[in-house]
Amino acid sequence: MSDWVLPLLVPLAAALAGGLITAALLALRPRGGGEGVALLADRMEALSARLDGAVAAQNERLSRALAEGADRTQESARRIHERLAVIDAARANLEALGGQVQSLAAILGNKQARGAFGEVQLRDMLADRLPADGFAWQHTLSNGTRCDCLIHLPFPPGPIAVDSKFPLEAWRAQREATNEPARAAAARRFAADIRKHVEDVATKYIRPGETAEGALIFLPSEALHAELHGSHAALVAEAARRGVYLVSPGTMWAVLGTMRALMRDVRLRAEAGNLRREVARLVEETTRLDRRVASLKRHFTEAQGDLHGIEITAQKITTAGARIEAVEIDVPGPMRAAE
């Protein structure tokens, strides 16, 4: 029984009992006919009136409690709806994430798609860290082998070939094995696949005089890189002795940073050479300018001497003219008489 039903039934039962007693007393009034019975009947009527008032008050309190309970229920329902909306959004996110995980699993399960995924990831890293002329995609070497990427580095060390494909089938079989014999067989297969892939890269991608003495194998997964160094350290060391280095996205950032610094140093040296040549050319032009200034100065000095000589000659001519003007010529007697 609900908590609000019991307070309602008690006044109703009391009112019903009062009504029955009042009816009984009214039925007994003609027989007794006394004033005590009438007084009792009056008191019972007053009691019934008070019970009616109590029932009305209880009904009012009950209505108020029911209204408050309805409000609380509505508020709880609103909160439940809000939480359900949050749960629906989280479920949608989980479904989307599940779809992305399935897509990633499909990519990693397909050999060609996995290679394309690794190539796209490598392409983004190289485009972010190296200049546009610092690498070439799908470069064909002199032996006809096409590498995924060739990073242009000067000798030494020389251009470095990068391979972005890696055999993951045995690694996945090793992780998904349910018993120890299957896990051991997958591990042996994985080691054999690694050794064969390293052999192919070392044979095809390392060309003396054309490339550097080493090549890179890009692993698009940090977990795979850690698994290799943790469980197959001997194979990693053997690959390094062959000049093949396994790099993950994290270590590839560091390698590309070093290559970027090397390219910048080479570019600075080239610019320094150009600057030295320009300075030598400037020194040559300055020397030529000094010779021409000295020649001009010599000519100017000679011209200045000639001008000084001309000034002296002019002064002499002026002086001579003045003397000529100052000379008085004596005229003979007959000429004077004729005059």
222-280 pLDDT, tens per residue? 877 887 888 788 888 888 888 888 888 888 888 888 888 888 887 787 777 788 888 88
Tell me the sheet residues that pair with 140: 146
Could you identify the residue written with the tokens 């080479």? 266
Name the nearest CA neighbour of 287 among 299, 279, 277, 298.
279
Q: Could you tell me if 222 and 247 are in contact, meaning their C-beta atoms sit under 8 angstroms apart?
A: no
* Window from 34-43, 69-78, 116-125 with minimum mean pLDDT: 34-43
Report the C-alpha gap between 286 and 282 in whole angstroms.
Answer: 6
This prediction has a pTM of 0.48
32 pLDDT above the threshold of 50: no
At 149, phi and psi to the nearest 5? -155, 145
- What share of the chain has pLDDT > 70, as a percent? 77
- Half-sphere exposure in the Cβ direction for 295 (13 Å, CA): 6
Tell me the sheet residues that pair with 216: 162, 245
Question: Which tens digits make up the pLDDT trace of 250-261?
Answer: 888 888 888 888
Report the C-alpha gap between 317 and 326 in whole angstroms.
Answer: 14
Which pLDDT band, with edges at 50, 70 and 90, does 112 fall under? Answer: low
Q: pLDDT at position 33, please?
A: 47
- Please, which residues have CB within 8 angstroms of residue 229's CB and are 6 or more apart in sequence? 236
Question: Looking at the domain that runs over 111-264, which CATH code has it been given?
Answer: 3.40.1350
DSSP-derived secondary structure for 242-256: TTEEEE-HHHHHHHH
- Please, which residues have CB within 8 angstroms of residue 240's CB and are 6 or more apart in sequence? none
Q: Is 217 helix (H, G, I), strand (E, B) or coil?
A: strand
Tell me the sheet residues that pair with 246: 217
Which pLDDT band, with edges at 50, 70 and 90, does 336 fall under? Answer: very low
Work out the average pLDDT over 300-318: 83
Tell me the sheet residues that pair with 136: 150
Q: Could you tell me if 156 and 213 are in contact, meaning their C-beta atoms sit under 8 angstroms apart?
A: no
Which pLDDT band, with edges at 50, 70 and 90, does 337 fall under? Answer: very low
Could you identify the residue written with the tokens 């320009």? 278
Q: Could you tell me if 11 and 55 are in contact, meaning their C-beta atoms sit under 8 angstroms apart?
A: yes
Residue 330 vs residue 73, higher pLDDT = 73
Q: Pull the structure tokens for residue 188.
A: 């042996």
Could you identify the residue written with the tokens 């546009």? 132
